[in-house]
Structure 1
């Protein structure tokens, strides 16, 4: 009776092994047969890693081939479907992308990473209510291990809908975590710049610590110019003007073929001086001129919440 039970357990264990592994047989030169067990989970994950790497190197077709192998190797791997969905999204094959996003969630209804990436996809399609639902599904899951990415991504979705307060709230929520996406600072800076809170926009962009890109350099040039246009004392004028010219020179020298560099050349001459045709900061923004002591205190803030308090105080006084 006991030996029969052990036999059943052994058969069950073998069945489980075969579900997640496959056996290959190789005939050696001496005629012997060597069997090798391949773990399907590990093999599928390896294909996923390769797909991600190729995707990061702008080779989406090769990435798609690896993602297909990840799916065919283990067709119940939700991450394989999610990665393939994101590749389809980049390739503009939106129906296939959505099908794979849904398949991943069907396999794992608590897969918060897929919820977020699917939500980003839906937001790009302007299906905002569906996007916000999926963001909530992820952020309400206490086991979601990268909520800072969820808050940042939802902030972007709110920004696309011109929901300033909601976007600002989610970006700040992302900053409460130890390792928020560095792009959160760029997003906050652009958000504040678009709402003519130029000092606050400058504050957030100065906290961005990743490598400078044409995008960040051009944004910083616009912020510095806007603060100059608003009216500053002579010391700040020299500081902002000098830094703006330096950024402009670096932008042209290192990224001369980018659209940001071309925009700069349309607004500034060879010496870095603004062209007469350049539009200044919007008139209504010029009524909010910060006293020197307030402007200096913004650059010394240690937390975003302090900067927000100043922003509200300034807006209220305006």
Structure 2
């Protein structure tokens, strides 16, 4: 009898210990979740302040987010953008690299890093990073990465490569208006007026245009001396986007036709 009681006591003790461990595990998981949620909240606040230009408050919130979760790649990416705005390129680069080293190479972080690389003159690295983002199966908008690569290349006066990047974006998503605009604007700027007009016309034959596309359409048509097309583009810009910056630019263009 004593042996049986001892065995039961032992089993009860094991059960209590197991429950205790499960309770500890659950409590630890809850604490981790609360910490991660707090870090994410502070990160979002930091990004919001960063977008508003309040760098002091952005730094305070992002420092807190880092203390709460130092292994979150998104926190390091946000801090990289802050350090860039603060004029600390070495720290920005370090934060971007840490963000990419902490886990799977997030296409959104790759895109942010590529923008930074291009803006700081590291064109080849930037384009390569944009392309890595575009090739990532988890990236929902690869056409945006190709378009960004094209803008980067155009800024470096590598126009032929830029045009190919814009074309790749349109091949992947023919209704991506920004790529169509960038390609038309590039061709127009380098004197390929017919190509620019073809890009605008082909896009508008299937998809709704943006204010940028309508305004470049006005400029292209004016250069070609096609008054009917110029008025058609201008009328649609005034009617569909009356409060846009492009409509205001159109008014200035009309007052200064040269």
- The answer to whether TM tops 0.5 is yes
For 1:148 and 1:129, how far apart are their aligned partners in 2?
A: 18
1:171 aligns with 2:169: no
For 2:174 and 2:220, how far apart are their aligned partners in 1?
A: 30
For 1:179 and 1:40, how far apart are their aligned partners in 2?
A: 43
For 1:109 and 1:102, how far apart are their aligned partners in 2?
A: 12
Give the alignment partner of residue 145 of structure 2, picking from 134, 143, 150.
150
Gaps of 5+ in 1: 23-37, 279-318
Bigger drift between 100-109 and 153-162 goes to 153-162
1:210-259: CA deviation from partner (whole Å, max 9, x where unpaired): 5x4xxx3xx74454243233233xxxx234146548858999x957xx89
Instruction: Give the TM-score taking structure 1 as reference length.
Output: 0.59
Contact 1:248–1:264 at 8 Å: present in 2 too? no
The equivalent residue for 2:198 is 200
Bigger drift between 181-190 and 44-53 goes to 181-190
Contact 1:205–1:220 at 8 Å: present in 2 too? no
The equivalent residue for 1:238 is 228
The equivalent residue for 2:6 is none
Contact 2:46–2:57 at 8 Å: present in 1 too? yes
Bigger drift between 242-251 and 151-160 goes to 242-251
Map 1:19-30 onto structure 2 (within 5 A). Answer: 21=31
Q: Relative to structure 1, is the Cα distance of residues 167 and 16 closer, same or farther in structure 2, using a 3 angstrom cutoff?
A: farther
Contact 2:108–2:139 at 8 Å: present in 1 too? yes
1:167-204: CA deviation from partner (whole Å, max 9, x where unpaired): 33333433455697653333233223223333135337
Deviation at 1:106, TM superposition (A): 2.0
Bigger drift between 69-78 and 145-154 goes to 145-154
The equivalent residue for 1:106 is 101
Contact 2:36–2:69 at 8 Å: present in 1 too? yes
Q: Secondary structure at the match of 1:126?
A: coil
Gaps of 5+ in 2: 1-9
Structure with the largest fraction of strand: 1
For 1:208 and 1:161, how far apart are their aligned partners in 2?
A: 30
Q: Secondary structure at the match of 1:142?
A: coil
Contact 2:131–2:146 at 8 Å: present in 1 too? no
For 1:77 and 1:101, how far apart are their aligned partners in 2?
A: 12
The equivalent residue for 2:91 is 96
Aligned residues: 243
Q: CA RMSD in A?
A: 4.2
Q: Relative to structure 1, is the Cα distance of residues 63 and 105 closer, same or farther in structure 2, using a 3 angstrom cutoff?
A: same
Q: Relative to structure 1, is the Cα distance of residues 225 and 112 closer, same or farther in structure 2, using a 3 angstrom cutoff?
A: closer
For 1:166 and 1:42, how far apart are their aligned partners in 2?
A: 43
For 2:15 and 2:88, how far apart are their aligned partners in 1?
A: 52
Q: Secondary structure at the match of 2:165?
A: helix
Q: Secondary structure at the match of 2:58?
A: helix
